[in-house]
């Protein structure tokens, strides 16, 4: 168990402040519209928005970070991110 459960409970997505789920070696934002995925390196989660992965929820293509509005280059789905 790389990350203690009590630590996981107080951690939040750096972008939308939603709670995080541990899935394998990554932390997934529980907010489906955000969907950021944070890598864990040497048992330390990398909680940086610019380092996080964000696959398209419709086609799972990697999305590029582009301010608060993102358009999937593959399926054309548009996502908005509201920074809190």
Binder among 27, 47, 52, 56 for Zn ion (CB under 5 A): 56
Site for Zn ion contains 58 (CB under 5 A): yes
Q: Which is nearer to Zn ion, 47 or 72 (CB)?
A: 72
Binder among 20, 27, 34, 47 for Zn ion (CB under 5 A): 34
Q: Which is nearer to Zn ion, 29 or 47 (CB)?
A: 29
Q: What angle do CA 59, 62, 66 make, to 5 degrees?
A: 115
Residues forming a β-bridge with 52: none
Site for Zn ion contains 44 (CB under 5 A): no
Q: Where are the strands (E) in the chain, listed by range?
A: 20-23, 26-29, 37-41, 44-45, 69-71, 78-80
């Amino acid at each position: 168990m790389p990350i203690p459960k009590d630590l996981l409970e107080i951690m939040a997505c750096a972008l939308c402040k939603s709670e995080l789920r541990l899935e394998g070696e990554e932390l997934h934002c529980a907010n489906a519209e955000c969907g950021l995925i944070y890598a864990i390196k040497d048992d330390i989660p990398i909680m940086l928005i610019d380092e996080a992965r964000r696959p398209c929820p419709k086609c799972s293509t990697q999305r590029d970070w582009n301010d608060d509005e993102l358009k999937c280059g593959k399926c054309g789905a548009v996502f908005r991110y509201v920074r809190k």
